[in-house]
Amino acid sequence: MKFALLGFLVVLCITFIVMLVKSAKQIRWYYHVVMVLNLGLVIGLLFPTAVALKSRMAWHDLKETLEARAADLEAEHDLILKGDESDPSIGIGLRQLRHEYSLLNAEVGFHVAGMTGAQQQAGTFTLKKSAPQPVVDPSLGMPATPDPAASAPKPTKPMFPTDSVVYAFLEEPLEQGQTALPRYYVGEFKVSQSTPDTVTIQAQGQLEQIQRQMLANSGNRTWTVYEMLPLDGHQPFLLEGSDKILPEDNIFGSVDKNLVAQLFSNRNVIGNMLSATPLVEGKPSERELYLANMDASTVAYLNDGQKIEQQTNLPPEANRWSRVQFQANYEDVVDSQDAADPADVSAFDILGKAKDIRLHVGDGEGKVVAKKGDFAVVDFDTQKEWENNQVAVVVGTFFVRSLVDFRFEIRRLRIRVREVADRIKVVQEEHTLLESAQATLIKLLAQRQEIILKLEDDIAQVEVENTALDDYLAKQSEALRKLQEKASLLYRENISMMEELEAYASGQKVDET
What would the DSSP string read from start to end of 427-491?
HHHHHHHHHHHHHHHHHHHHHHHHHHHHHHHHHHHHHHHHHHHHHHHHHHHHHHHHHHHHHHHHH
Q: For residues 141 and 480, which has the higher predicted lDDT (pLDDT)?
A: 480
Give the pLDDT of residue 246.
66
The C-alpha R_g of the chain, in whole angstroms, comes to: 54
Average pLDDT over residues 354-362: 71
Q: Is residue 433 pLDDT above 90, yes or no?
A: yes
Cβ atoms 288, 279 nearer than 8 A: no
Pairing of strands 223-226, 198-203: unpaired
Lowest-confidence segment of 90-94, 233-237, 390-394 by average pLDDT: 90-94
Give the pLDDT of residue 191.
92
Give the pLDDT of residue 443.
92
Sign of CA dihedral 405, 411, 415, 420: positive
Query: Average pLDDT, whole number, for the chain?
Result: 80
Collect contacts of 337-345 with beta carbons under 8 A, ≥24 apart.
Answer: 337/366
Cα within 13 Å of Cα(304), Cβ side: 25
Give the pLDDT of residue 399.
92
Please give the Cα distance from 121 to 201 (Å, whole number): 11
* Residue 111 φ/ψ, nearest 5 degrees: -150, 155
Pairing of strands 136-137, 320-326: unpaired
Lowest-confidence segment of 158-172, 207-221, 436-450, 489-503 by average pLDDT: 207-221
pLDDT band for position 204 (50/70/90)?
Answer: confident
Exposure pattern of 86-103 as b/e (b: 16+ CB <10 Å)? eeeeeeebebeebbeeee
pLDDT band for position 141 (50/70/90)?
Answer: very low
Average pLDDT over residues 105-109: 56
Give the pLDDT of residue 142.
44
Task: Give the predicted TM-score (pTM) of the model.
Answer: 0.54
Q: Is residue 283 pLDDT above 90, yes or no?
A: no
Cβ atoms 364, 274 nearer than 8 A: no
Alpha carbon distance, N-terminus to C-terminus of the chain: 223
pLDDT band for position 451 (50/70/90)?
Answer: very high
Give the pLDDT of residue 444.
92
Q: Is residue 218 pLDDT above 60, yes or no?
A: yes
Cβ atoms 223, 116 nearer than 8 A: yes
Beta-bridge partner residues of 331:
369
What would the DSSP string read from start to end of 316-369?
PGGGEEEEEEESS-EEEE-B-SSPPPTT-S-SB-TTS-B-SGGG--S-TTSEEE
Side chain identity at residue 263, one-letter code: L
Side chain identity at residue 452, one-letter code: I
Cβ atoms 245, 254 nearer than 8 A: no
Cβ atoms 351, 293 nearer than 8 A: no
Domain boundaries, the chain: 2-83, 408-513
Cβ atoms 135, 148 nearer than 8 A: no
Sign of CA dihedral 234, 240, 241, 247: negative
Lowest-confidence segment of 101-105, 370-374, 405-409 by average pLDDT: 101-105
| 3 state SS of 87 | coil
Q: Tell me: the pLDDT tens digits for 17-70?
A: 777 777 777 777 777 777 778 777 777 777 777 778 788 888 888 999 999 999
Beta-bridge partner residues of 238:
255
Please give the Cα distance from 353 to 347 (Å, whole number): 9
Give the pLDDT of residue 440.
93
Please give the Cα distance from 242 to 255 (Å, whole number): 8
Give the pLDDT of residue 419.
85
Cβ atoms 293, 271 nearer than 8 A: no
Give the pLDDT of residue 67.
92
Count H helices and E strands in the chain, helices first: 9, 15
Lowest-confidence segment of 8-17, 76-85, 92-101, 158-167 by average pLDDT: 92-101
Please give the Cα distance from 390 to 330 (Å, whole number): 11
